[in-house]
A and B are shown apart, each in its own frame.
Chain A
Amino acid sequence: MTIVYVPGDSAARSIGADEVATLIAAHAAKAGIDIELRRNGSRGALWLETLVEVDNGAGRYAYGPVNPSDVDSLFTSDFLNLGTHPLALGKSDEIEWLATQDRLTFARVGIIEPLSLSQYEAHGGLTGLRAALLHKDVVGEVLASGLRGRGGAGFPAGIKWRTVLEAAGDQKYVVCNADEGDSGTFADRMLMEGDPFTLIEGMAIAGIAVGATYGYIYIRSEYPSAIEVMNKAIEVARSAGVLGEKILESKKSFDLEVRAGAGSYVCGEETAMLESLEGKRGMVRPKPPLPALSGLFGKPTVINNVLTLASVPAILKDGAKSYQDRGVDRSRGTQVFQLGGNIARGGIVETGFGISLNDMITRFGGGTLTGRPIKAVQVGGPLGAYLSADQLDVPLDYEALASVGAMLGHGGIVVFDQSVNMLQQARFAMEFCAEESCGKCTPCRIGSIRGVEVIDRIIAGQEREKNLELLNDLCDLMTEGSLCAMGGLTPLPVRSALVNFPLEEVSK
């Protein structure tokens, strides 16, 4: 039977995928054609959504971007038998934008139906967990892979795991940070919606590795579809014996549950997240103690981002070396970049570290959506630096970005065209910090408000030199004196917006 794939990812649905699916089903029924309609995740080429795929036995062929109004003509062109159509893209796997990527963490996203455990296994799922159950030193394997935390800080995952493994405690936890609050990032969401079992498998492996028997996934409330899919996937995994007592008929136990956030950006900071999981105000805890030693409910806790944990099954499946072989220097493996903002071809680009920002934006991104020249690119979310059009040669890896005063963060890349006003962006960074600060430390709570005021005076042209100096001092204070990255990194977008762009341009 012909299989038709229409993504059920919420981004695809945000521009009409549900309507496309309904129309295709109705059309086929009316014409008396038997099709199997599958709602896969999104392949991440969001500029091609709704990306409809047809498999009538000769592999998957793509059509996109399909609007509901295109469905009639698709049937007229007999697309179910791969008829030619202006939206025909040929074999899905040969679409250059996808074919030139290195999909490791996102290997199954957009390929399988998210809640089908059999499809998951048919595409290599659970191999990593089975390997982990027989492995003597899972932590050593993860350590050897060089996997670094994908949430933003880039801390080596293996070292964190080893600390938890060696910590004494009757109860240990694995917590997945799915509070993906950075503007310009959506990889966690797409992975959870498109391949939830990978995350479950990664967390189960982490549990086995460090001796934790229970896990929590903290998902932001802004992602209702991800929460729904993860909850269903946990149910499926539990009834199939992948979670619960004696997982996969071994002697190990691991179970987990989803907890939803409640609209606080700072809860993406790991200690604030722990407070929130404990049901309290999401305020940052001072470190030490490290969460690895005293984390959730005071117990040793592994905290990793969605992408970090979702990379683990592949490491156990193919070995540390296969992962280690990808990337450059101390940035090993692949990185899931997210192209957003004013970009012609936005979406998920997973590739080895080291690709230049320029290559990413032009070769994959196709320049701006508006067609106007690029003026600024913000890398790494609202706490990341703004780079100007002449700084785009920088390779995308942790160290190279640090050398130009930028950071990779969670891999979000937001492009702006010439219409952006950099002084307004600097102001927004302070405004965002003021809005989202947890209030625990003074430099962040008060500094951000003073920051907005000082920038307002600069915008108004009041004693510009003096106020720029004052802003600089304030940025120093926030960088040095804040308890966490919220206040500590807000100066990064602020300063870069002023330093990397000519002031006369700024002052417009």
Chain B
Amino acid sequence: MKHLTWTDAAALEVVREHAGKPGPMLLTLQALQERFGYVATSFLPSIATELNVSRAEVHGVLTYYSDFRTTPPAPHQIHLCVAEACQALGVRDVEQDLAAAGFKVGERSIDGSTDVVGMYCLGNCALGPAAQVDGNLCGRVSAKSLIAQVSS
């Protein structure tokens, strides 16, 4: 996942690609995040102008959905499923082991390499505990296997 450095000019192009579609806000924010890794809050008024909505509406959508972020991401992302099916296979222990190794869920790892995000369900419930590392689904994970993937 290679992201471009945010510039308002490039961001404006992205917004204009989507502005004409029906119900464009979510699409637009997703496209911005895909391109730059995050959505810069300073750019929010321009999004509002281009989509002809209020700034409050843009802010509302941006903050409602857990996928969106307003700061650049770490080089690696671990999304760990902490829902019931993975709980049944000891994801709480995985969480503790990760924290002990400096990869606390909900924070950036101590070495700065990875954002560790807890989330609910990746649809890999028969092969749990499950996680997504840099967008790739992993099954039967342990803290060790996850950290190995972001360290290589």
A residues at B contact (CB < 8 Å): 10-11, 13-15, 46-47, 49, 180-186, 188-190, 221-225, 259-265, 276-283, 297, 338-343, 346-347, 369, 378, 382, 412, 414-417, 420, 425, 428, 432, 435-436
21 A-B pairs with CB atoms under 8 Å apart are A11-B124, A14-B136, A183-B81, A183-B83, A184-B84, A184-B125, A185-B121, A186-B125, A190-B123, A221-B67, A262-B30, A279-B26, A279-B61, A338-B125, A340-B126, A342-B89, A382-B83, A382-B120, A414-B84, A428-B84, A428-B87
**In the complex, are the beta carbons of A46 and B85 less than 8 A apart?**
no
Contact B23 A341 (CB under 8 A): no
Name which residue of chain B comes closest to A282, CB basis.
Answer: B64
Bound state CA distance, A415 and B84, in angstroms?
Answer: 9
Q: Is the pair B23, A277 in contact by a Cβ cutoff of 8 Å?
A: yes
Q: Which residues of B contact A279 (CB under 8 A)?
A: 23-28, 61
Distance between Cα atoms of A283 and B25 in the complex (Å) = 15
Task: Give me 18 other A-B pairs in contact (C-beta within 8 A), A13-B136, A277-B26 excluded.
Answer: A10-B124, A11-B126, A14-B136, A183-B81, A183-B85, A186-B123, A222-B122, A259-B27, A278-B23, A279-B25, A279-B26, A280-B25, A297-B23, A338-B126, A340-B85, A382-B120, A420-B87, A435-B120
CA distance A340 to B88 in the complex (A): 9
> Using an 8 Å CB-CB cutoff, how does the interface string of B119-152 with A read, 1 for contact, 0 for none?
1111111111010100111111000000000000
Residues of B within 8 A of A436 (CB): 120
Residues of B within 8 A of A278 (CB): 22-23
How far apart are the CA atoms of A276 and B60 in the complex, in Å?
12
Can you list, as one digit per residue, whether each of B25-38 has a CB less than 8 Å from chain A (1) or not (0)?
11111100000000
Which of chain A's residues have a CB closer than 8 A to the CB of B124? 10-11, 14, 186
Contacts of B67 in A (CB 8 A): 221, 261-263
**A184-B84, A280-B61, A340-B85 are contacts. A13–B137 as well, Cβ < 8 Å?**
yes
4 closest Cβ pairs, A-B complex: A346-B126, A340-B125, A183-B83, A279-B25
Query: Contacts of B65 on A, CB cut-off 8 Å?
Result: 261-264, 281-282
Q: CB-CB < 8 A to B61: which residues of A?
A: 279-281
Q: A416 touching B88 by the CB < 8 A rule?
A: yes
Residues on A with beta carbons closer than 8 Å to the beta carbon of B79: 222
Most buried by B among A221, A225, A280: A280
Complex contacts, A262 vs chain B, CB 8 Å: 26, 29-30, 65-68
Q: Name the residue of chain B whose CB is nearest to the CB of A432.
A: B120
CB atoms of A183 and B86 under 8 A apart: yes
CA distance A14 to B130 in the complex (A): 9
Closest B residue to A274 using CB positions: B23
Which A residues are CB-close (under 8 A) to B87? 416, 420, 425, 428
The interface residues of chain B lying within 8 Å CB-to-CB of A412 are 85, 125
Residues of B within 8 A of A338 (CB): 125-126
Q: Is the CB of A263 within 8 A of B66?
A: yes
Write the residues of chain B forming the contact surface with A, with a CB cutoff of 8 angstroms.
22-30, 57, 60-61, 64-68, 79, 81, 83-89, 119-128, 130, 132, 135-140
User: What's the minimum C-beta distance from B53 to chain A, rounded to whole angstroms?
Assistant: 9
B121–A11 contact, CB under 8 A?
A: no
Question: Known contacts being A263-B66, A279-B26, A425-B84, is A346 close to B123, with CB within 8 Å?
Answer: no
Across-interface contacts of A369 in B (CB, < 8 A): 89
Give B65 Cβ to nearest chain A Cβ, in Å.
4
Q: With both chains docked as a complex, state the minimum distance between the C-beta of B131 and any C-beta of chain A, in angstroms.
A: 9
In the complex, which residue of chain A has the Cβ closest to the Cβ of B60?
Answer: A281
* Contacts A14-B138, A280-B25, A428-B84; A343 near B121 (Cβ below 8 A): no
Most buried by B among A182, A189, A278, A340: A340
Q: From B57, which residue of chain A is reached at the shortest CB distance? A: A280
Q: In the bound complex, do residue B30 and residue A15 qualify as a contact, i.e. CB atoms below 8 Å apart?
A: no
- The answer to whether A378 and B138 touch (CB under 8 A), given A184-B125, A338-B126, is no
CA distance A295 to B83 in the complex (A): 31
In the bound complex, what is the Cα–Cα distance between A15 and B25 (angstroms)?
A: 36
Q: Which residue of A lies closest to B24 (CB)?
A: A279
Task: Assess the A15–B140 pair: CB atoms within 8 A.
Answer: yes
A341, B137: Cβ atoms closer than 8 Å: no
Contact among A15, A261, A342 with B139 in the assembled complex (CB-CB below 8 Å): A15
Q: Which residue of A lies closest to B122 (CB)?
A: A222
Task: Give Cα A259 to B23, complex, Å.
Answer: 11
Residues of A within 8 A of B126 (CB): 11, 46-47, 186, 338-340, 343, 346-347
Residues of B within 8 A of A414 (CB): 84-85, 88, 125
* Chain A residues with CB below 8 A from B138, complex form: 14-15
Nearest CB of chain A from residue B30's CB, rounded to whole Å: 6
With A49-B127, A281-B60 already in contact, the answer to whether A183 and B68 are too (CB < 8 A) is no
> What's the minimum C-beta distance from A426 to chain B, rounded to whole angstroms?
12
Question: Is A14 within 8 A of B26, CB to CB?
Answer: no
- Chain A residues near B140: list those with CB within 8 A: 15
Contact between chains at B121 and A222 (CB < 8 Å): yes
Output the nearest chain B residue to A225 by Cβ-Cβ distance: B137
A340 touches B128 (CB 8 A): yes
Closest to A340 in B: B125
Q: List the A side residues contacting B25 at CB < 8 Å.
A: 279-280
**Are A15 and B127 also in contact (CB < 8 A) when A279-B26, A382-B83 are?**
yes
Which residues of chain B are within 8 angstroms of A343 by Cβ–Cβ distance?
126
Residues on A with beta carbons closer than 8 Å to the beta carbon of B27: 259, 279
A355 to B95, CA, bound (A): 36
Which of chain A's residues has its CB closest to B83's CB?
A183
| Most chain A beta carbons < 10 A, residue from B22, B81, B86 | B22
Tell me the nearest residue of chain A to B132, going by C-beta. A222
Q: Which of B25, B68, B125, B130 has the most CB of A within 10 A?
A: B125
Residues of B with C-beta under 8 A to A222: 79, 119, 121-123, 132
Q: What's the least CB distance linking A310 to chain B, in Å?
A: 16
Q: Are B125 and A297 in contact (CB under 8 A)?
A: no
Task: Find the A residue at minimum CB distance from B21.
Answer: A279
- Measured between C-beta atoms, what is the minimum distance from A223 to chain B in Å? 6
| Residues of chain A contacted by B121 (CB below 8 angstroms) | 181-185, 222
**One of A47, A185, A435 near B123 (C-beta < 8 A):** A185
